Structure 1
Amino acid sequence: MAGANDMELISTEAPPASKRRRKKSLVWEHFTIEVVDGGCTRACCKLCKQTFAYSSGTKIAGTSHLKRHIALGSCPKIKNQDKKPLMLPGAQTDGNSMDPPKRRYRRSNWNNALFEQEISCGSLAKMIILHEYPLHIVEHPGFVSFVQSLQPRFRMMSANDTEREILSVYQKEKQSLMQTLGNLPGRISLTINLWTTSQTLGYVCLSGQFIDYEWRLHRRMLNFMMVASPHSENALSEAIEICLSDWNMQTKLFTITLDNNCSSHDIYSANLRDHLTNKNTLMLKGQLFVVRCYAHILNAIAQDVMASIHGIIYNIRESVKFIKASHAREEKFAEIALQLEIFSTNNVCLDVASQWNTTYLMLVAAKDYKQAFACLENCDDSYNEAPSTEDWKKVEIVCSFLKLFYDSANVIMSTEDPTANIFFQEAWKILVELTNATRNDDDTVSCIAKEMHEKFDKYWKDCSLILAIAVVMDPRFKLKLVEFSFPKIYGEDAARYVTVVSDALHELYLEYVAQPLPLTPAYIEPEGGANMSNGNNDSNQGTITVSAGDGLVDFDIFISETAMDLHTKSELDQYLEEALVPRIQEFDILNWWKLNNLKYPTLSRMARDVLAIPVSMVGPGCSIFGVGTGGRMLDEYRSSLRPDIVEALFCARDWIQYSPIVSEPPSTTSTVKMEY
């Protein structure tokens, strides 16, 4: 029998005499049992050789402290495992082959020892929200089996439990966003989109667009609510009222952008303006209140112009299908093109009917091969879809018009933060081109152009004031671009329309002047008189720098009052008279206003609200080409869910994919701005 000074290591199996069952805990892959005096045993770590109490007579100490030694990194060998591989039982260090252990220890199991059912349920709910999985995925046998293989301790939720978790995520995210919106430095603009279902139900989606304290543009979905009659005159007004009340923004509404067809837009505009003006303080007497979606008007006109040659487009689409039907036909068509010396960089491609840009690209490529299509029809009896010469002439005309909208849409989509200032340049160029086309000597060109011009001119009349004021807030253009472009649009009446813009601009500015201005650090003119906008500045004579804690607040007020007469020009006039900022490709207008916030404290608040107007309802990074002329369709599955669940799914998905919004102003320095 072994003595106290002659201890022997016991294997992970109990001694045969005790006939105990084999120990199953993973702990015993890292510990052995040592017999000590008095019939007691201790557990010895195979890595660091430390011993721990295990049993004293018939009393067993358990294995929790052994797990902590391994899982929490108390073992010095495991602490260094990032530097040195963990040696497992049976491993050899002499360079020879090792005997693989029967079971491999996975340290991640120990790291996840503190399993939280609630956290996992929340993560599962967010996964369903983000990826638009059906709620009953939690009851799919395959999914349940997969989750159990990862964490057997997780109790799978039912579909009803999943609904509750989704509502919990929605409420938590809503409270966070509500706190942020409550501290916004400016106003918020809404976009309103109509959704329909296969039943008679309808939904209204309201999103808010705004600029935070760090001058970053944000758009967040606010409500996705079911309405009985989404196309009725009162439905949108009621939805907006509910939204403003729900988010405590009754006094912060600036503009709304509608996604309606042209015929009903006037009705909606008048109804909304009259209904909400009595309950909300609208800037500029509501003249800027209703905005029409720029992407919507582009797509509506593009669809109309393509509809004028729908038969020709059908023939071209069928021709491309014929060529793409087999590799032999493609080779034959390529050989014909080579013989005709057609060396186009455009490849014949098939379009996606719901994306008008793909139809445009199909037409552009096809017209380069019009001779090849005619030759193919002569040499292949099975092909008889080649357009005629007159058809190709119409395709040429349509493509020239579609290019205007295609290029404009790409400019908008390529802008990381599509602020309101970028749309004026795009809109007036299209209007001028369409106006000139209506006077074309070719009857086909003028006929197509007149229908397009009528619709786009209606958009221009509704939105030109908003677009013009927005571009004035761009220091690269200011009022100069308006003065340059209006003669091309209005001819001899241009000066009158420029005056309309100028008057509205100054009136809007005065409304911001009338609002209280928060105490902010003072603007200090850089040495040499050069300001942050690379322009000239002689307007800093009304600002001084004082110490925030020198006890001279009354003196500051005295200086403010006595210097009132010295400040003869408003911030707006100073801004307009300064030199334009150079037009560089990487110019960041939001960063420019952030840097000039101290110089133009009142005008910058106006610029913040104006630049945040969602002239296009299509968000950053999304395709403009897929915006249809009507509302979007809710799929049958989501149509079958309760309205509160539908709203939670749509809104929460929008909220949790974004980074936090800056909801507090930056800390002030020791200088303050004196108002004059």
Structure 2
Amino acid sequence: MAEDNDTKPLSTETTPTSKRRRKKSLVWEHFTIEAVAGGCTRACCKLCKQTFAYSSGSKIAGTSHLKRHIALGSCPKIKIEKQEKKLALTDGQNDGNTTEPPREKARYRGASWANALFDQDTSCFNLAKMIILHEYPIHIVEHPGFIDFAQSLQPRFKMASVDDIEGEIISVYLKEKQSLLQVFGTMTGRISLTISLCTTSQTLGYVCLTGQFIDSDWRLHRRMLNFIMVSSPHSENALSEAIGVCLSDWNMSTKLFTITLDNNCSSHDIYSANLREHLTNKNMLMLKGQLFVVRCYAHILNVVAQDVIASIHGIIYNIRESVKFVKASPAREEKFAEIALQLEIPSTKTLILDVATHWNTTYLMLVAALEYKHAFTFLETCDESYNEAPSMDDWKTVEIVCTFLRLLYDSAIFIMSAADPTANMFFQEAWKIQLELTSATKSEDSMVSSMAQEMHEKFDKYWKDCSLVLSIAVVMDPRFKLKLVEFSFSKIYGEDAPRYVKMVDDAIHELYLEYVAQPLPLTPAFVEQGDAPVTNGSIDSNQAASPVSTGDGLLDFDIYISEMAVNQQAKSELDQYLEESLVPRIQEFDILKWWKLNNIKFPTLSKMARDVLAIPMSMVSPGYSIFGAGTGSRVLDEYRSSLRPQIVEALFCAKDWLQFLPTMTEPPSTALVKMEV
């Protein structure tokens, strides 16, 4: 039943004519009447422009639904207006002025903002970004709770279907891929890849390829490039084929430098031989592929650490159960603290429980428990319910294990602390562990030597495989150059050190000559103040052969000086670099900044340094924990395993790319057409 006295429809949008009685209901301050086809009229909200049924012929819909739209806040413009008024009042109170801003001004501002805020396409695009970034299931668009939530925020938003949101995800992926292709198009150096395997509950699997490179401004970047489904992920040809697809997809067939693998030792050898032969035959590799395959440093740390922990799993079980017993209740913790105080144990460490999949937490648990070993022994004598205390021999074993684990733990922490872990950082860490394990194998303590032998067997294989690339990388560090290699090798190899140093020196010079054979970019030549003009690294031959005599009778001296200058200039950039004094070792030293500043001085060598320093010696991305890196393949969850490969790749790659954007609010590009899915 109508709730006012207006029963006849109007034929215009304006208020009634002077001949008719003016409408009394307050809703008409917010609505106008619009005529539609068939002699019907609809009430149109002045703010949000939504229309509602008002009359159909002689039937009047009334105004109750119109009042609800205004009074209950269904109108988004009214809601915004109220929020702005509330904010304005709060600001006024903070300023000591509680005067409410003019109503019309607030209404105009709220309506204008809302019109600019809502756009269906932009909202769908941002919804796709949200699903990608936070790994929500695509079917969230069908969840009733999410639909209700989105509707309460913006009633005008039409929820996308699963097919539509998949199309939006592909659109995001293609847009960001296009941007990354432009970056690679301007890249002057080479790119190094990391490859990891990801299996599913089915027989299928995925190969994840990530690229690392240093741009022209000497900034280190790491981007996921492909997430490709393969039918036999552990076959010998799977990685070769994936690399081929990746290089072709990104137009980088001639820019591959190295590849880092995370698979175990036995399969590593198969993949290494297969990949090296496949790509060397196509003349794609530098230094005949000697640097091509790199093993992940984080992976070898985890393998060695977890093997050590597994060797004393029974003792660790007793310690873990002992810690659980003490921490089971506040009364027990208090009693344990009293025992520690009574025994005058000086430790301030707190007992912690480990996470079995993260060996660093097991190490920290053992270190803390070791300091309370006498307290645990005493607790067993005074508490009949506790019988898990390790023996003194067990504690001795734990002490030895912690000594070895600390080597690995400190090395991992050092690598994780670097914002940009360039390849030069890893040599010093690796050779220290190699030296310590080699020395420990000669220990007179049979337990120490036995444990060190097992660790050294695995780490020594890593050292033999990667010592060359590690050495070349540290030579590119102006604080160390070849001097640290000479010093380190003398500690490890003793009298055989010169032979190993020569192998590194020869490889560096051979690699440098390959870069000399490549054309240089057009950059100003570097000339020391007072030197003769230099062309392609040598003095102009005519000038050198015809010194200008000053008429003082020292023509022979001028010839002598010219010959000395020619000999000096004949030295390569690499030799000049190696002969210069070492740069002081300061904590805030930035190696990328140093090479950027010396790019003109060493134009060819800097190209080599850029590629070498960008080698990913660890597959763990900056900001992530090395300790959580598994020793085997990742397993894709059931939900993502059920998605089409195209969508899986878009989800993984786009998430990686989006996190590097300066803002997440840019509108969707109109340059890309959404793919049919």
Structure 1-normalised TM-score? 0.80
Q: Which residue of 1 aligns with 2:413?
A: 410
Q: Which residue of 2 aligns with 1:502?
A: 505
- Could you tell me how far 1:198 is from its partner in structure 2? 2.0
Q: Which residue of 1 aligns with 2:469?
A: 466
**What SS is found at the alignment partner of 1:112?**
helix
1: CA distance between counterparts of 2:595 and 2:435? 31
1: CA distance between counterparts of 2:514 and 2:306? 41
Comparing 145-154 and 238-247, the one that deviates more: 145-154
**What SS is found at the alignment partner of 1:387?**
coil
Q: Report the CA distance shift for 1:338/1:509 in structure 2 as closer, same or farther (over 3 A).
A: same
Counterpart amino acid of residue 314 in structure 1: Y
Of 649, 652, 655, 1:653 maps to: 655
**What SS is found at the alignment partner of 1:582?**
coil
Q: Which residue of 2 aligns with 1:576?
A: 578
Counterpart amino acid of residue 305 in structure 1: V
Q: Which residue of 2 aligns with 1:605?
A: 607
Q: How does 1:237-636 map to 2 (within 5 A)?
A: 237-525=240-528, 541=532, 543=534, 567-636=569-638
Tell me how many residue pairs correspond in the alignment.
574
- Could you tell me how far 1:326 is from its partner in structure 2? 0.6
- Could you tell me how far 1:559 is from its partner in structure 2? 8.0
Cα deviation 1:164-217 (Å, max 9, x = unaligned): 100010011111111211221100000001111222221110000000011000
Preserved contact between residue 138 and residue 157 of structure 1 (Cα < 8 Å): yes
Q: Report the CA distance shift for 1:366/1:542 in structure 2 as closer, same or farther (over 3 A).
A: farther
Cα deviation 1:338-377 (Å, max 9, x = unaligned): 1011121211100111110000000000000000101111
2: CA distance between counterparts of 1:163 and 1:99? 45
Q: How does 1:200-215 map to 2 (within 5 A)?
A: 200-215=203-218
Q: How does 1:145-160 map to 2 (within 5 A)?
A: 145-160=148-163
- Could you tell me how far 1:322 is from its partner in structure 2? 0.8
Counterpart amino acid of residue 262 in structure 2: D
Preserved contact between residue 224 and residue 647 of structure 1 (Cα < 8 Å): yes
Of 131, 135, 141, 2:144 maps to: 141
Preserved contact between residue 542 and residue 566 of structure 1 (Cα < 8 Å): no
1: CA distance between counterparts of 2:101 and 2:112? 24
Q: Report the CA distance shift for 1:475/1:14 in structure 2 as closer, same or farther (over 3 A).
A: farther
1:179 aligns with 2:182: yes
**What SS is found at the alignment partner of 1:133?**
coil
**What SS is found at the alignment partner of 2:210?**
strand
Counterpart amino acid of residue 237 in structure 1: S
**What SS is found at the alignment partner of 2:616?**
coil
**What SS is found at the alignment partner of 1:408?**
helix
Once superposed, what is the RMSD of the aligned Cα atoms?
3.2
**What SS is found at the alignment partner of 2:115?**
coil
- Could you tell me how far 1:138 is from its partner in structure 2? 1.3
2: CA distance between counterparts of 1:264 and 1:642? 28
Q: Report the CA distance shift for 1:94/1:456 in structure 2 as closer, same or farther (over 3 A).
A: closer
Counterpart amino acid of residue 363 in structure 2: Y
Gaps of 5+ in 2: 1-14, 33-80, 547-564, 663-677
1: CA distance between counterparts of 2:343 and 2:163? 67
Q: Which residue of 2 aligns with 1:44?
A: none
Q: Which residue of 1 aligns with 2:57?
A: none
**What SS is found at the alignment partner of 1:186?**
coil
2: CA distance between counterparts of 1:588 and 1:332? 51
Preserved contact between residue 13 and residue 23 of structure 1 (Cα < 8 Å): no
Cα deviation 1:513-562 (Å, max 9, x = unaligned): 00001110233547xx9xxxxxxxxxx655489xxxxxxxxx99998999
1: CA distance between counterparts of 2:290 and 2:221? 24
Residue identity over aligned pairs, in percent, reads 71
- Could you tell me how far 1:384 is from its partner in structure 2? 0.7
Structure 2-normalised TM-score? 0.80
- Could you tell me how far 1:659 is from its partner in structure 2? 4.1
Of 95, 99, 115, 1:113 maps to: 115
Preserved contact between residue 260 and residue 293 of structure 2 (Cα < 8 Å): yes
Preserved contact between residue 89 and residue 98 of structure 2 (Cα < 8 Å): no
Counterpart amino acid of residue 599 in structure 1: K
1: CA distance between counterparts of 2:121 and 2:99? 46
Cα deviation 1:648-674 (Å, max 9, x = unaligned): 0000000011148xxxxxxxxxxxxxx
- Could you tell me how far 1:107 is from its partner in structure 2? 3.3
1: CA distance between counterparts of 2:98 and 2:90? 14
- Could you tell me how far 1:385 is from its partner in structure 2? 0.6
Q: Report the CA distance shift for 1:544/1:509 in structure 2 as closer, same or farther (over 3 A).
A: closer
Cα deviation 1:207-255 (Å, max 9, x = unaligned): 0000001100000000001111111111110110111111111000000
Preserved contact between residue 253 and residue 280 of structure 1 (Cα < 8 Å): no
Counterpart amino acid of residue 658 in structure 1: F
1:131 aligns with 2:137: no
Gaps of 5+ in 1: 1-11, 29-77, 530-539, 546-554, 661-676
Counterpart amino acid of residue 195 in structure 1: C
Cα deviation 1:600-641 (Å, max 9, x = unaligned): 000000000000000000111111001111011111111111
**What SS is found at the alignment partner of 1:204?**
strand
Q: Report the CA distance shift for 1:244/1:100 in structure 2 as closer, same or farther (over 3 A).
A: closer
1: CA distance between counterparts of 2:633 and 2:611? 27
Q: Report the CA distance shift for 1:638/1:106 in structure 2 as closer, same or farther (over 3 A).
A: farther
**What SS is found at the alignment partner of 2:127?**
helix
Preserved contact between residue 213 and residue 614 of structure 2 (Cα < 8 Å): yes
Preserved contact between residue 542 and residue 567 of structure 1 (Cα < 8 Å): no
Preserved contact between residue 26 and residue 105 of structure 1 (Cα < 8 Å): no
Preserved contact between residue 250 and residue 280 of structure 1 (Cα < 8 Å): no
